[in-house]
Amino acid sequence: MQVRRAAVLGGGPGGLYAARLLKLAQPSCEVVVHEQGDPDTTFGFGVGLAAGTQRKLEAADPDTLRDLVVAGCRHDMTMSVGGRMTRVRNDRLIGIARTELLAVLQRHAEKAGVRIEYGTRRGTGEFDADVVIAADGVSSATRAAGDFGETIDVGRGLYLWCGADFALPDALFAPVETGHGVFVTHAYPYSGGRSTFLIETDEETWRRAGFDRTTDATPPDASDATSLRYLEEVFAGELRGHPLIGNRTRWTRFRTVRCARWSDGRTVLLGDAAHTAHFSVGSGTKLAMEDAIALVEALDQEPDVGSAYARYEATRRPAVERLQELARRSRLWWESFPSRLHLPVEQLMVAYMTRAGNVPLDRFAEGNPDVVTAAAEQYAKAPPPAGDLVDWVLDQPLRHGETEFPHRVLPAVPDGLTVTEFADVVTDPWNKTGDDVVARARQARRDGADGFRFAGPADRLAVLTRLDLAERVRTEVGGLIIVDGPASARADLAAGLISGRCDLVSFTEEEA
Ligand SMILES: Cc1cc2nc3c(=O)[nH]c(=O)nc-3n(C[C@H](O)[C@H](O)[C@H](O)COP(=O)(O)OP(=O)(O)OC[C@H]3O[C@@H](n4cnc5c(N)ncnc54)[C@H](O)[C@@H]3O)c2cc1C
């Protein structure tokens, strides 16, 4: 369709990129972006752009990508636990300041002929346009007022987003145990002299440290200075003596937004307004910019607004939902992170990389043989030979009390072992149903059970959730932990073994 006039609400990455791409695709269209803030004020510090995102941006708009890469800061990833460190290479991951990202996108939008109006909060009803793109962020007033069937899930953990005035050499994941509990930082450099420090904790630790009170006492446009000073001491080593910098920094719970519909009449949602994915998969900006690519393509190729919006949603929804599911698993993993601090750092890194089922164990091993070799030695007390790593993990023997298992695939529970089976269908192993399984497992142990077997549906997502539940019981209750799954999930089951989620696996029928 030929769009005559397009109004874009919100000058974040999604809105600015959609505006530029639309103006490039349809030069006669009048495209105006309405942003409530000023050109150079924004929240937050840096964001990450992974290799896959960069490839998509390159195909859609190589000029913009070139400037983003120049403004960004490439880095590897390290994890540091109890003084031990391990590192994962990542050749094309860049961090970029959010201010710099927006400056590049503003410049390119204006160069293409987009008009940007700053400084006034607007509503989509005010626009005389045939296409209204609502890219007004996670707290979208458009979404709240329209018929989009929104649902919002609030995370259990708390996080705050701050920065530091020096560039870390690499991204860093580092937990620190304090008298109040564990705080974890996800930190990364995003320019020659700056780093993002995102810090997470659980609710009990947050309350014990008194941060429920400091959060209440912090005005909306200020930073929680008490928390920043406390965390500066907690992460003094990681900060190398630098202070933490706030920018309207306060403790928040992550909100996962989902919508049953992404359009309502001539208005279409884009980016965080339509969906969010937990920050630990670093993908909010990517999703918003990829939405922009698909929306402009659909507008260009379909005859009217209705079919263009339908095509946009049909193209994007599967990828968004897949990522939201990965992000949900990743959020649950990080919320339960302190329970894994007993693991050696390399095993913990393998657990981290395989936490959501997105990175296959053997692919991770190809790029990072040193990390996986160390983790394999921690798992089996022997280095893996060259060859199929998954086979090797499954082939390792296990001694449990007096019982010897020749390998980790169990044909049948041996005589003399008492194993209690759980077949509960659990979506979140750390919710009430998960608590109930843990309570029953404790009782079963008191009653003499040697271990637990986790059975259930054969689909991959169910197997991954079972591994998480098994891990929780293994950590909190102990005993021999067996997880059922079909042979097609053998790589996931092997990842579960090497990262300490279970002790044995048992192959079951494939999904019908
Ligand atoms: C802690 C944290 C860490 C993150 N880390 C990463 C990361 O590493 N990588 C990554 O890709 N993403 C990350 N994100 C997510 C990322 O910041 C967002 O997903 C991304 O900014 C979404 O872009 P957007 O354009 O949809 O919305 P936003 O960037 O939120 O932009 C919305 C814009 O709309 C404007 N606006 C809202 N209402 C109105 C109105 N009524 N009138 C006018 N203007 C309005 C706002 O001022 C804002 O500028 C992180 C997010 C958080 C919270």
> Do residues 171 and 225 share a domain?
yes
Considering only CA atoms, which residue is closest to atom 51 of ligand 1?
Answer: 279
d(CA 483, CA 480): 10
Question: Is 312 part of any domain?
Answer: yes
Question: What are the tens digits of pLDDT across the range 384-420?
Answer: 988 899 999 999 999 998 899 999 999 888 888 999 9
Distance 398 CA to ligand 1 centre (A): 49
Q: Are strands 77-81 and 194-201 parallel, antiparallel or unpaired?
A: unpaired
Distance 135 CA to ligand 1 centre (A): 9
Both structure tokens of 63: 């000029």
Considering only CA atoms, which residue is closest to atom 40 of ligand 1?
Answer: 121
> Do residues 128 and 270 share a domain?
yes
Question: Is 188 part of any domain?
Answer: yes
Q: Pocket residues for ligand 1 (CB within 6 Å)?
A: 9-15, 34-37, 44, 47-48, 121-122, 135-138, 141, 161, 198, 271-273, 279, 282-286, 288
> Do residues 381 and 453 share a domain?
yes
Which atom of ligand 1 is closest in space to residue 16's alpha carbon? 25
CATH of the domain at 107: 3.50.50.60
What pLDDT, on a 0 to 100 scale, did the predictor assign at position 43? 60
Distance 48 CA to ligand 1 centre (A): 13
> Do residues 351 and 428 share a domain?
yes
Considering only CA atoms, which residue is closest to atom 37 of ligand 1?
Answer: 136
- The number of domains in the chain is 3
Distance 73 CA to ligand 1 centre (A): 20
What pLDDT, on a 0 to 100 scale, did the predictor assign at position 46? 86
> Do residues 297 and 428 share a domain?
no
Contact yes or no for 25/296 (Cβ under 8 A): yes
One-letter amino acid for residue 343 of the chain: L
What pLDDT, on a 0 to 100 scale, did the predictor assign at position 387? 86
> Do residues 455 and 434 share a domain?
yes
> Do residues 170 and 276 share a domain?
no
User: Cα 272–275–279 angle (5° rounding)?
Assistant: 70
> Do residues 466 and 362 share a domain?
yes
> Do residues 145 and 103 share a domain?
yes
- Structural domain for 465, as ranges: 344-508
Contact yes or no for 331/280 (Cβ under 8 A): yes
Distance 319 CA to ligand 1 centre (A): 19
> Do residues 169 and 203 share a domain?
yes
Q: How confident is the chain (512 residues) per 10-residue block, as mean pLDDT?
A: 98 98 98 92 78 94 96 91 90 87 96 97 95 98 96 96 93 96 94 91 97 97 96 96 94 98 98 97 94 98 98 98 96 94 95 92 92 95 90 96 93 90 92 96 97 96 96 97 96 96 93 76
Which atom of ligand 1 is closest in space to residue 46's alpha carbon? 8
> Do residues 419 and 355 share a domain?
yes
End-to-end CA distance of the chain: give it in Å, rounded. Answer: 44
d(CA 175, CA 177): 7
> Do residues 297 and 370 share a domain?
no
Residues in contact with 345: Cβ distance below 8 Å, sequence separation at least 6, in sequence order: 79, 80, 81, 82, 84, 85, 86
